Structure 1
Amino acid sequence: MSAILKVENLSKAFSGVRAVREASFEVEQGSITGLIGPNGSGKSTTIDCISGFQRIDAGRVELDGDDITNLAAPDVAHAGLIRTFQNVRVYDSFDLLDNLLVADAALGGLHWYDALMRTRSFRSVSAAAEARASALLDLVGLSRLIHAPATVLSYGQKKLLAFAAAMMARPRLIVLDEPVAGVNPTRINELADILRKANAGGISFLIVEHNVEFINSLCHKVIVFEQGRKLMEGPPDTVRNDPRVLDAYLGIAPASGASPAEAT
């Protein structure tokens, strides 16, 4: 399977503190890949660098064979890598449809004003955009609220809306930052099903998440970071049973017969 994302020897420091140290990994085309690790392991800095929100100090990032190293975030998005954020970002006063149309306008080179005011530039592409927005809201189970303001949504529903917005541009890879943090178990199961459907439709995912059970149940491969470095990677079962992972999370060697999944 070919790689949609290649990260080679990525390094990043802040005021002399090395947050990421020569990290290398790949995300395979058509896969759902998890990125886990204890707090301070460099996960968030890594995806900030990959998605253009931080400049890297050294290393290389490729998206489907194209060098995107240190491109600005809008250019990374136009190249086909879209990310979401742990702190959900939606326009509360806009209805759900307009939230998605604004996202589509921004990624299509238009201004958010074009979407809200239905300018001539926007109207030329609006029919297709509205049809896609409607389909995505149906995918995430929010179609009945298409004309409701986003402020009526629960926190979990806002995360679903943010995910739908990320899908508007038909990205090649979506990076999800803590997608189930603060979300109730029912909504977590719904999101897992939605991600599987989107993945079956051809979207690749890199998911940063502290919920190890969610990652293990969903991902084809799991990458583990510790102290700014890649500790290991492999299928969920392999990672779950590796004593280094438990040691990274808890600082202790596993008891006989115990697994990292049981301890976390």
Structure 2
Amino acid sequence: MSSSQVPQPVHVLSPDLVGVLKNRVEATLVALIKKNKHTRYFSESPVFAAFHSAIRDFGREDYDAISDDILLEAFRTTIPFTNYNSYEPFVAKFLTETCQEDDVRDMFSPGLPHHIAVTSSTSSPKPKFFCKYQHQDSMRRNLGDSGEIFWTFSLHYRQLVKIQDRNGDIIKTVPAGLGSSGGVRMLHGLEVENDHSNIKLAGTPRHSTLKCFHFIVKLSLTRGVVHFSDRRRLHPRLSRILAHAHTLCTRGWQGRDDIYNLYYVRS
């Protein structure tokens, strides 16, 4: 795209766009309130007490019977800005030695989390943990649909949270690690229980047959794999791609129990 084709930034939204943005933000907030109204965090955390009191003052227990305008006004006027202190006691239940389903189901959103994102501790001495959920109506991002991309990512996790039912059986294993790693797992349906076969990325769009250039086998995990979406256009760039990938492997990946995937995507 030439410089003349680059759209100029919009410094002030038109009234129509302001209205569209406002409606979208408010619709998203109302949807979140209604979806998460029965969660443990929303029901039990003190930061939401004034909100529940305001709703009761309208004589309605069912949020669906309350107009969106009233919900939004109550939310804005009663819920303060919060920080991790209100969230931490609830997410800590996932990090106990024995994580029970009855203690964590519907904690922040209906069901159990897909993964737990762990921060890098840049703003505090210890990392923060945030549960990430996946629902059928969740938005999915498309990455690398066009152009040329040499994309590296890790499926590494720092710990596995094994959620048990009342009989002591593990009903779900939740990886806790980098948010980007969990996002990749969610995007491609890469469940941690299937990590022995995840490097194949079976059925993943835009990626074809597995091409392995570097294997380091440890704990039954094979790392350093490349997927090529267009073999016919691969040859002119093959040596450069593999040289760069080999450098990444030998310098950055030795001694780690990660699964790494590199993509060369060309539409």
TM-score interval w.r.t. the shorter chain?
A: under 0.3
Which fold has the larger relative contact order, with Cα–Cα distance below 8 Å and residues 6 or more apart in sequence?
1
TM-score between both structures, scaled by the size of structure 1: 0.27
Larger fraction in strand: 1
